[in-house]
Chains A and B, each alone.
Chain A
Amino acid sequence: MPMANKTAPDPDTPVRTPSGIELPLVATGAHHDANGEGLPARYPFTRGIFPDGYRGRLWTMRQYSGLATAEESNQRYKFLLARGQTGLSVALDLPTQCGYDPTDPMARPEVGKVGVSLSNLAEMETLFAGIDLSAISTSFTINGTAAIIYAMYIACADKRGVPRDKLTGTIQNDILKEYVARGTWIFPVRPSMRLIADSVLYANEATPRFNPISIAGAHVRDAGATAVEEMAYTLANGLAYVDELIARGGDVEKFAKRLSFFFYVHMDFFEEVCKFRAARRLWARLLKGRYGVRDEKALHFRFGVVCGGLSLTAAQPYNNVVRVTVETMAAVLGGAQSIFTAAFDEALQLPTEFSAELALRTQQIVAHESGIANTVDPLGGSHLVEFLTDRMEREMERVMGEIDAYGGVVKAIEEGWLQARIAERALERKRNIDGKRTIVVGVNAFRREEGEADAGAVPRLDPAATQEVFDKFEAVRQRRDPAGVERTLAKLSDAAADDRENLLPYLVDCCHAYATVGEMVGRLKSRWGGFKEPGL
């Protein structure tokens, strides 16, 4: 199939990164300043936050995973742990994420489709049966109902006799980006920000080793934002959370140590490496410059990544293994603390055991065979890498300045300005692919004219699994003490009306009483109302 040669035939034609930065043909010392030199673990941390890089501790291998029922998911976690995974990452179904009980008419068709249904503590107990909560860190991709799932995790640890201060892991708990890209918002912006501040401040005391928020750029990126915009929007959201926490009386020197981040890694290798180096430096500078943070640990930009997403294709799905390998290397060279490598069939279905194992093996090979983790920031000092790091940092500051000029990120989201920008960017990206200005192998170049090989049957969710979720849900409702449930829910409802209260202790009590996600969300919604989506 004919295609444009990516190397411009005319050497004077500019070549740009996907973020629009013009690349030199040859980079030299004249292209950058000395920022990238120096040592890791020294402000502003361009070269990393740990002096010994990955020699001291490898990144956490954390595969996002969740099947319809808690039992099957528990089995899949044990399967992954047995194959060398070093952390858990729980994928929840949409009803749990959006605050509906499984039997709600809105929820029924969606139960167990994109992750596990976790409507109450009994399900959480099943999910972690036989897994030592004090020994493994667990990440929950949960936002609208993050405070509830976190409370449920604490209740689960309590019941198992695991001390709360032994719990490690992360709840995503980043509602701002849900309004922009991921769409599992429930409440209006302001009470949602309160719920986040409540959980962060509570977690700092109750579970000091647990990350109560993972400020995520991954989803705006996958929706179409460039690498520069991904980082800029996320740092802007990060600052909005810092402001909220300070307004609630939080000590930035303390809570900033528990802020973490989450991003996508897509295909443009050097841009991906450099966006992490640039953002790590910029975050430290922002916290020091704006808030006077002194404790170096509070300046650390710690982040997890997912490799795959939009960069993967449904066409010729095995090509995705190669893409994820390149992306994993970029994540490592950028200094990620945890990595999720997506399965090659992600664009088609939930991963099978085969594809899930191959995805894990991909990062194990990078970790243990490639040798790239043996030296801290091995690309530091490369003229191109330092040039791109400098330029991307400046571009991130420019985009953040545009948000400030609009009136801040909360206003930009409430009024739909940011959402509209991302939609336009997504359209631009699509047009670039349609017009072959961006080459995607197997999609707009090197297609199989003879037609696609059969990707194989996509396994359908067994209706028996959904029925099992409904049955267990009803059984728990029958078993529990209704007066106790009502008592804890009533207290939650009262506390929700008083901004000075921290809601987390009330949510933990509700979970202990086996109140359901839908019941807790229902009480909060009756106090706060729901989010009204701005028009397109």
Chain B
Amino acid sequence: MIANATAGAPPLKGKRILVAKPGLDGHDIGAKVIALALRDAGAEVIYTGLRKTPDYIARVAVDEDVDAVGLSLLSGSHRELVAQTVSSLRQLEAGDIPVFVGGTIPQQDQPELLALGVKRIFTAEMALADVIAAVAEVLK
């Protein structure tokens, strides 16, 4: 069991979450591990696959009526691509969908992403249980 092994109901039961890979980054194992962990925590997970544009990700988020979007970036392009995805969501009047970011995000860039409205930022060395708990806290 991943998270909250002691709790009764899975912490993300009934939630729909989009896990997305914006841009050209081919490192997808972190996104896949998170997707599997979210699934184990009860969420219904939609994974975009690699090389998606911010517009595409926003459209899928709206079409699939998701409760949250998780963006995975390890290519150093997080500042540009997160900003574009947030802006695409707003253009589709979906700016209220919580956005999470994971990957190689240097500390110095985190305030900028949080200021865009990103709810939480996760890095590879965080325990999965902590990631799940943080997502559950925001989606509560």
Q: Check A183/B26 contact, CB under 8 A, given A110-B75, A110-B77.
A: yes
Specify the chain B residue showing the minimal Cβ separation from A458: B106
B124 close to chain A: CB less than 8 A: yes
A100 to chain B, nearest CB (A): 7
A224 close to chain B: CB less than 8 A: yes
Q: Once the chains bind, are A184 and B47 in contact (CB under 8 Å)? A: no
Q: Once the chains bind, are B125 and A94 in contact (CB under 8 Å)? A: no
Size of A's binding interface in residues, CB under 8 A:
41
Chain B residues in 8 Å Cβ range of A182:
26-27
Q: A259 vs B106: C-alpha distance in the bound complex, in angstroms? A: 38
A386 to chain B, nearest CB (A): 33
Chain A residues in 8 Å Cβ range of B24:
94-95, 97-98, 100, 106-107, 110, 184
Tell me whether chain A's interface is mostly helix, strand or loop, or mixed: loop
Q: Once the chains bind, are B128 and A434 in contact (CB under 8 Å)? A: yes
B133 close to chain A: CB less than 8 A: no
Q: A183 vs B2: C-alpha distance in the bound complex, in angstroms? A: 27
Q: Which of A42-50, A70-78, A319-327, A424-432 is found at the contact surface with chain B?
A: A424-432
Q: Check A430/B76 contact, CB under 8 A, given A178-B26, A535-B47, A536-B47.
A: no
Q: Once the chains bind, are A430 and B125 in contact (CB under 8 Å)? A: no
Q: Once the chains bind, are B125 and A314 in contact (CB under 8 Å)? A: yes
A423 close to chain B: CB less than 8 A: yes
A2 to chain B, nearest CB (A): 16
Q: A498 vs B25: C-alpha distance in the bound complex, in angstroms? A: 32
- Of the listed residues A114, A424, A535, the one surrounded by the most CB atoms of chain B closer than 10 A to its CB is A114
The A/B interface has a contact count, at CB < 8 Å, of 91
Q: A433 vs B108: C-alpha distance in the bound complex, in angstroms? A: 26
A349 close to chain B: CB less than 8 A: yes
Chain A residues in 8 Å Cβ range of B128:
430-431, 434
Chain A residues in 8 Å Cβ range of B26:
94, 178, 182-184
B45 to chain A, nearest CB (A): 8
- Of the listed residues B35, B80, B81, B106, the one surrounded by the most CB atoms of chain A closer than 10 A to its CB is B106
**A 341-360 binary contact with B (CB < 8 Å = 1; else 0):** 00000011100000000000
- Of the listed residues B28, B49, B127, the one surrounded by the most CB atoms of chain A closer than 10 A to its CB is B28
Tell me whether chain B's interface is mostly helix, strand or loop, or mixed: loop
Q: Once the chains bind, are A348 and B125 in contact (CB under 8 Å)? A: no
Chain B interface residue bracket vs A: 35 or more
Q: Once the chains bind, are A109 and B29 in contact (CB under 8 Å)? A: no
Chain B residues in 8 Å Cβ range of A183:
25-28, 50-51
A265 close to chain B: CB less than 8 A: no
Chain B residues in 8 Å Cβ range of A457:
108
A87 to chain B, nearest CB (A): 25
Chain A residues in 8 Å Cβ range of B87:
none
Chain A residues in 8 Å Cβ range of B23:
94, 106, 109-110
Q: Check A422/B29 contact, CB under 8 A, given A314-B125, A347-B104, A427-B36.
A: yes
Chain B residues in 8 Å Cβ range of A434:
127-129
Q: Once the chains bind, are B29 and A314 in contact (CB under 8 Å)? A: no
B119 close to chain A: CB less than 8 A: no
B6 close to chain A: CB less than 8 A: no
**B 6-19 binary contact with A (CB < 8 Å = 1; else 0):** 00000000000000
Specify the chain A residue showing the minimal Cβ separation from B26: A183
Q: A475 vs B69: C-alpha distance in the bound complex, in angstroms? A: 40
Q: B76 contacts which of A98, A224, A461 (Cβ < 8 Å)?
A: A461
B32 close to chain A: CB less than 8 A: yes
Known contacts A109-B23, A423-B36, A434-B127; 11 further A-B pairs (Cβ under 8 A): A98-B51, A105-B53, A106-B51, A183-B28, A347-B124, A349-B106, A422-B29, A423-B32, A533-B49, A536-B32, A536-B36
Binding site for A on B (CB under 8 A): 2, 23-29, 32-33, 35-37, 45, 47, 49-51, 53, 75-77, 80-81, 84, 104, 106-109, 123-125, 127-129
Q: Can you list the 3 inter-chain pairs with the closest CB atoms, starting with the nearest?
A: A183-B26, A109-B80, A94-B24
